[in-house]
Structures are given as structure tokens and as C-alpha cells.
Amino acid sequence: MGGSHTSLPVESRLTPAARRQLHPAGYSRRRFLQRSGALIVAFAAAEMADRFGVAPTVSAQGGNTPQTLDSWLSIDASGHVTAYTGRAELGQGMATVQTQLVAEELSVPMSRVTLVQCDTALTPDQGTSSGSMAHPVNFNDGNLALAGATAREALFEMAATRLGVAVDQLTAADGVINPLGDASRRVTYGELIGDRRFSMALSPEAKRKSPSSWSVLGTSVPRLDLPELVTGRFEFVDNVRVPDMVHGRVVRPPAVGAKVVSVDEDSVAGLPGVLKVVVQNDFVGIVAETLWQAMEAARSLSVTWSQGTGLPDQSGFYDYLRQHPSRRSTQVVSSDNVDATLSRTTTILESTYLHPFQMHGSMGSACAVADVRSDTVTIWSATQAVYPLRETTAMVLGRSPEHVRVIFVRGSGCYGINGADTVSYDAALMSQAVSRPVRVQLSREDEMAWGENYGLPYVIDQRVGVDGTGNIIAWDVESWSARRGGRPGSTTPGNVATGALLGFPPAPFIPRAQAPEPIWFNNRGNAAPSYVTGRVGQTMGGTGTVAIQRVVQHVVPSPFLTGPLRSPRRLQNTFAHESFMDEIAVSVRVDSVEYRLRHLADPRLREVTNAAAKTADWQTRPSPRSDNPRTGVVSGRGIACVLYEGDNGYVALVAEVDVDQDTGEIAVTRFVVALDVGPISSPDGVRNQLEGGLLQGLSRAVSEEVTWDSEKVTSVDWAGYKSLFLPDWYHLRSKVGSQIPLIETVLINRPEDQAMGAGETAITVVAAAVGNAIFDATGVRLREVPFTPERVRAALAGSR
């Protein structure tokens, strides 16, 4: 159970325990290769690039993606395939579906494919596994998919020579190539390439298999990790144990901005097992022999802290954002006639939408193990960015990145940037101090107050002009948000808590009062609503018809570290746009679906909207329902749609809700979601993501909010940070009889199109669809997330 440490396996299957063996073997891919005998791993990207005259490309999310086949795939003498990926399994099924991809392209059973993920000694540098990019990056025309196609074509060429048959007269199945119609002559992959390098570049011309011939990809393959997960055998980062390992615990400041004045080491003198108190700038940690001793010692350690820097009053925080004197402004789109048009328009609608700081709130408090030695550093981490973490850990330790190896080991679901990176620094610092491997697990409070980077707060002003026919003629959006820190990337450890405590600055905030003219329509944050044309210069990058448009956003410095919580910016902006679109439709007494379609030009966004409405049996009529009573439980429906990130997943959602007008409680009775993300790699995998995204979105829409007082965050456990628990959303359902929450998914499969991301689509539209349904049921509009019972009651009271 603790992982035995035997000699290096000569086959290419690598269990986590086996990977751990490798750490004395070397830290660069090249050294690893030299030491690892039959294990075939590629040279470092730069060297191969030099050899083949191919420049390493920079992927969409950083990284130096190697263009050499051996960096991605190897095949041993038995025909077993090992694939190397820089895209991590985070609980979303990426390991299974990437295994499907490799098995499909190479025509081998999945059982003959081992996927090695995210290890700076072994796998390609694919930057950060973030957002909804894992799928597009590895399932289109580059990277892992291209490696599979290149390898298949190379194997066919070799087989053609071996068998004396033209390539187009060959067929492959089960790792064996034979002439079409002649099973007697055959050659296996193992015979063709076994244990040798391909020594070739990825071929941009290599053709992927036609989706019409897929037998593994595109099917709902059960998750490979589930048998181990449900039986408690799966190794999470929490379970990593290495010889001689001891335990560290951090002691964080009691107030934001508080600094270490003094640490009284005598306060832990004589406590059992204590090895060392580690103080560096404002970082304080303590190392002990066992976990419990470290926990007890951390509780006992007496630290004197300075006063904090103080926090803005939470009740006035949205005004604070709006009025902050230092801000950085950006124009997403700006036609020159917005003000003139609006001044001539008789019907103007305006609303303001508010979204709070929210947490990732991972189930597990972050954990990492580090082994810092004189010549090497090994980090076992649940980071989503092994290569960037290698760089920043080197900075934290004052070491060279070449000496650092980061090995990804799964943690609990992350949804953005939880404490995985910061706790990796914690473990590294304490291991360096005691010259032994150190495991660090944050406490729940450490995780929630000082571990993670919160999702962004937003104030969003919306204004439109409506013409005499009821159509929108101009749309004007201005928003204020706050940011500080973020992903550390390769250069900025101060973007997360421990780096900041060590004195590394977060990424600088550079004010810019005057936003420059946009040079292209960048709608990655969904700052612009779906209903504008997105015209910049001569190109129209939007999905809508409204030509007169302006979207300006301001970012101000945040009092807390912030980061990319699932669907960052897109969720907050879409809540505002899609709620406001409903307000406009209501004002002109037009059905919400019909009104959207009137202003949508993009055929795929129209299609998902129609599909969701049709499946939900949407009745065409204006909102609100006219026949609902004003007391008791009433029902309503709402819709919202978006093209996530402006180009990465079409989604539409119909929500049906019950609202208890006496208590203010909300229950969603039915979600119908329609999705178009191009080719579907695993229908059940996508459904799982949609279902989880919808309910997580619901929790964020109705319940979740970071709270603070004048000096510190106060929502530091599950009593203070209110996630929906298992039965919460059934609470009201019992009144209406049904027990089963209905989630219906409509998947529009486009096998010949480009793959997009599914993971952050559904969550993006939940708050608006639910808010619109609450309006439909009650005639009351909620413009501030979360829609707590108190807020619903207050809104109802205010309107009646």
C-alpha cells in the first residue's frame, strides 16, 4: 500500500509507484532516456527541433509542444503503446478519452495503450491543462491526435516495404497490418518498430482516421479509473508516500496583509516529533515526524503578526469596484455611433448585474509531496501546469529549473486554480529546510482563506435601445471586475499565496484609463453579448445581428488573490447578457426564444437554442406567466445560450424552476441542455460534464459567495461557504411530489468539424436560465448572484 520500491521496469508501462522509482534516474527527459534502457522517450523538444529543422510551436496555453513523434508515442516489442500527454486527468475523463484517441488512431485495443500524463521528465510540455482547452488541443489536427496519425502512417510505410504491398492496399486491426483481403501475410507493430524510435517529425499531412470509421473514439467507454476509485485503491496526491517522508504544516497570517513580526520557537520546544520551524519572509511552516505531530505543533506555534492592511467593506464592495480610482480599461468592440444612436432612441433599457467572489472549494484541502536534495528536486503535485510549476518552484527554491522534476498526481476536482500550486511551494520550502521529503496538506481554513485564488467579482451595466418594431438597435456594456494574481505561469510565483508570502510580487497591475481601439474581436471572456455582430474593422466575429455596439471593461486591483474559476469571466458576463436579453424580450412582450432567434445570426447557436427549446416542449409566450398566484409555490421556465469563449462550444439551456414565494427558496425541477462541441469523443463523458456543470452552476447561482470582515475572509469552511449539498435541491421538490431531478441532454454531433471544449459550457448559462425562470414564475427579476432565499424574499417584497 505504501508503494514498494523495486528496480526500474524494462517495459514501458509505468504505474505511479514505478514512476516514483525513476526519480534518482534523472530530471530531464533526455537524461531519463539515457538511463531507462528499453523505455523509449523522446529527446527534449529543442534538440529534436534542431535535428529536424522544425521549430517547437507554442500551444494556445503556453508550453513548447514538441513536433517529434517519439515525444508522444512509443511502441514496445510486444506491440504495447505508451502515449505521453501534457493534458491531465482532473476527474473529467481526459485520461480515458485520450486513451480512446490513441487506440483509435493506431487500431489497437485500449488495453494495449498506457497513457503517461504530465511529468516534466517524461511528457511533452503542453503548458497548462486549463479551461476547456484540453479537448481542442489534443483532439484536432495537432499534438496527440497528429502523433497517432503520424505513427499509423509510418507503420503502414514500414509494412508496405516489409510485405512488398502498396500502402493503400494495407489494412490494420488489433496492432497487426496485413494486405487487404489476405490475413495470411501479416506484420505486427512490435515487429515493425518495437523498442525503437520512430526518429521522425510529426507529419502535418498525416491524415487522421475518418470519424465514420471510428469504433472506439466517439463511443461511451467506461472510465478507466473508476474501478480503483470506487474501491479506494486509486492513488491521489494525498496518498503519495516516499521513504523517509515527514510532514509539514503551514501557519498562515490571521489577517490579509499581516506580516511576521516574530516567531517564538520555544512555544513548540519539547513537543514530540518537531523537526524544524521554517520562516522565510511571511511564510511560516513547521515540520514534524508525523502528520498529527505537525498538526499539533502548528496549533501550538506562537507567531506574532502585524496588523493587516484592512479590507473594503463587503456591503459596499460593488460600489468600491465601480469607483476605484485605479483601473485598467479594455474595449472589446466599439462602433462609433453608440451614443448618438441611443440619444435618438425613445426606448432605452438599463440594468446592472452583480456577481460575487466565489471559491473553487475543492473537496480535498490541497496536498503535495516534495523531495528537495542537493542536486535534484522532485515535486508530486496535483498542479494543472507541471512545466510552469517546475520553473516557479525553481524560483522559490533559488535553484535551476533543470534540477526540478514535477510529477502530476491527481488531486480532488479543481475547476481552476485551487491550492495545488501553492501547497507545492509549501512542501518544497519545508523539504529544502529539513533535507528530507516533506508532505504538506493544508487545513480547510488554509485552503479557503490562503490556498486558492477566488473567482472574479463583477459589476456589469447593460444598456440597449429598442426600435419601433421591438428590435434591438444598439447595445452598450460596461463592466468592472477585480483581479490580483492568477496562475503562476512560468515566471510569477507571487500569483498564489505562498509565493506572495515569500515576497514575490503578483503579476503587476498596470492601470490604463484610456482603452485603445480593439484590433480584433476578442470575445474569449464573453464580454460581448451573443446578439452583437462583433464588428472590428471589416470582420464580424460575433454571433448576432446588432451592429451598433460597445463593450468596455475595467479591471481594478483585488483585495484577494483571484484566478480562473470554471468559466472565468464568461460565466459572470453571460449571466448579465442572458438575463438582460430576457428583460428586453419582456419589455417588448415577445417570447424569450423567439426574441433571441431574431437577434442571432450564427446557425449553430440558433440550432442549440432551438434544440433545447424543442426538447423542453417550450411554449411560445411572453414572460412572466400571467396566471401564477402571488403566494405559495409557483413554476416558471427560462432559457439562456452562449457560444462559450466566442469560439469554443455552443450551448443552450432551459431551466424549469419552482419558487416558494413564502420562503424564497428555489428548486430546479428540470434542466434541458443542448450542446454542440463538434465531434463527440465520448457521449457519456460529455453528459457527465454537462450534468456536473449544471448542478455546480446551480450551487454558484443560488448559494455560493465568499464573505469577509474588515480584515480577513470569514467563509473558511463548509458552514461559512455555502455549497449545495446532496439533497438541498430536492428540498422543495417534495412539495411537488417528484423526487428525481430531471436533466436532459441533447448532443449535436458534428464528426467532421473541429473539436471544442465541453467542460465549461453548461455552467456558463445556469444563473441566467434560472434567473429568467424565476422571473417567469414570479415577475421578479434577480440581478445579484447568489439568489439566496433572503434575496428572493426581498425582491418579491419589493415588487408587491
**What are the residues binding other proteins (CB under 8 A)?**
1-2, 90-93, 222-223, 225-236, 238-239, 241, 290-292, 361-365, 367, 410-413, 415, 441, 443-444, 684, 688, 691-696, 699, 717-719, 723-727, 730, 734, 739-741, 743
Q: Which is nearer to other proteins, 510 or 726 (CB)?
A: 726
Minimal distance, residue 734 CB to other proteins, in Å: 7
Per DSSP, the residues of 657-698 read EEEETTT--EEEEEEEEEEE-SS-S-HHHHHHHHHHHHHHHH
Residue reference for cell 505562498: 498
Q: Which of 680, 777, 690 is nearest to 736 (CA)?
A: 777
Q: How far apart are the first and last CA of the chain?
A: 63
Burial of 437 (0-12, 13-18, 19+ CB in 10 A): buried
Hey, what's the cell of 195? 523498442
Please say which residue, 291 or 748, places its beta carbon nearer to other proteins: 291
- Residue whose CB is less far from other proteins, 76 or 238: 238
Is the CB of 586 or the CB of 785 nearer to other proteins? 785
Provide, rounded to whole angstroms, the least separation between the CB of residue 272 and other proteins.
Answer: 8
- Min dist. Cβ of residue 157 to other proteins (A): 39
Residue 44 or 673 with smaller CB distance to other proteins: 673
Query: Could you give the CA distance from residue 379 to residue 390 in angstroms, rounded to a whole number?
Result: 9
Supply the minimum distance, in Å, between the C-beta of residue 246 and other proteins. 11
Q: Is 76 helix (H, G, I), strand (E, B) or coil?
A: coil
Burial call 538-572: b when 16+ CB within 10 Å, e when fewer = eebbbbbbbbbbbbbbbbbebbbbbbbbbbbbbbb
**CA dihedral angle for residue 63, residue 68, residue 74, residue 77, rounded to 10 degrees:** -160
Cα 785 from chain centre: 21
Return the number of the residue (553 or 699) whose C-beta is nearest other proteins: 699
Between 6 and 538, name the residue whose CB sits nearer to other proteins: 6
364: amino acid identity, one letter: G
CB of 298 to other proteins, least distance (A): 12
- Lookup result for grid cell 453548461: 762
| Exposed / middle / buried, residue 257 (Cβ in 10 Å: 0-12, 13-18, 19+) | middle
**Alpha-carbon distances, residue 133 vs 80, 176, 649 (angstroms):** 28, 33, 11
Q: How many CA atoms lie within 13 A of 186 on its CB side?
A: 12
**Residue count of the chain:** 800
Query: CB of 735: closest distance to other proteins in angstroms?
Result: 13
178/715 with CB nearer other proteins: 715
Q: Quick one: three-class SS letters along 401-431?
A: HHHEEEEECCCCCCCCCCCHHHHHHHHHHHH
Least distance from other proteins to the Cβ atom of residue 409, Å: 12
In the complex, the smallest distance separating the C-beta of residue 278 from other proteins, rounded to whole angstroms, is 21
Asked whether 538 and 316 are in contact (CB, 8 A), the reply is no
Task: Considering the complex, state which of residue 114 and residue 553 has its C-beta at the smaller distance from other proteins.
Answer: 114
The residue (of 543 and 696) whose beta carbon lies closer to other proteins is: 696
* Closest separation in Å from C-beta 128 to other proteins: 18
Three-state secondary structure string covering 345-407: CCEEEEEEEEECCECCCCCCCCEEEEEECCCCEEEEECCCCHHHHHHHHHHHHCCCHHHEEEE
Closest CA to 43 of 27, 35, 54, 32: 32
Nearest distance in Å: CB 134, other proteins: 14
| CB 59 to other proteins: min, Å | 24
How far is Cα 774 from Cα 667, in angstroms, rounded to an integer? 10
* Residue spans of alpha helices (H) in 451-503: 497-501
| 651 to 638, 678, 759, 769: CA distances (angstroms) | 14, 12, 11, 12
Task: For other proteins, give the closer residue by CB, 61 or 239.
Answer: 239
Give me the least distance between CB of 758 and other proteins, in Å please: 13
Q: Is residue 763 within 8 Å of residue 694, measured between CB atoms?
A: yes
Q: Identify which of residues 223 and 637 has a Cβ nearer to other proteins in the complex.
A: 223
Whether the Cβ atoms of residue 603 and residue 643 lie closer than 8 Å to each other = no
- Looking at beta carbons only, is 124 or 693 nearer to other proteins? 693
Residues 768/355, Cβ–Cβ less than 8 Å: no
Pick from 610, 584, 626: nearest CA to 768: 584
Task: Compare residues 106 and 655 and give the one whose CB is closer to other proteins.
Answer: 655
SS3 25: helix
Q: How far is the CB of 300 from other proteins (least distance, A)?
A: 14
Find the shortest distance in angstroms from Cβ 91 to other proteins: 3
Q: Which is nearer to other proteins, 365 or 661 (CB)?
A: 365
Minimum CB distance to other proteins smaller for 123 or for 412: 412
Specify the DSSP class assigned to residue 201: B
Name which of 410 and 550 has its Cβ closer to other proteins. Answer: 410
- Residue 28 burial (CB < 10 Å; 0-12/13-18/19+)? middle
Q: From the CB of 585, what's the least distance to other proteins, in Å?
A: 30
Nearer to other proteins, 276 or 410 (CB): 410
The half-sphere exposure of 586 on its side-chain side, counting CA atoms within 13 A, is: 20
Q: How far is the CB of 695 from other proteins (least distance, A)?
A: 4
Element (H, E) at 466: strand 458-466
DSSP 508-571: PP--BSSPPPPSS---TT--S-TTB--EETTEE-SSB-B-EEEEEEEEEE-SS-B---SSTTHH
Q: How far is the CB of 295 from other proteins (least distance, A)?
A: 8
Cβ 414 to other proteins shortest distance, Å? 8
For strands 472-483 and 548-557, give the pairing: parallel
Q: Are the C-beta atoms of residues 18 and 87 closer than 8 Å to each other?
A: no
Write the DSSP symbol of residue 265.
G
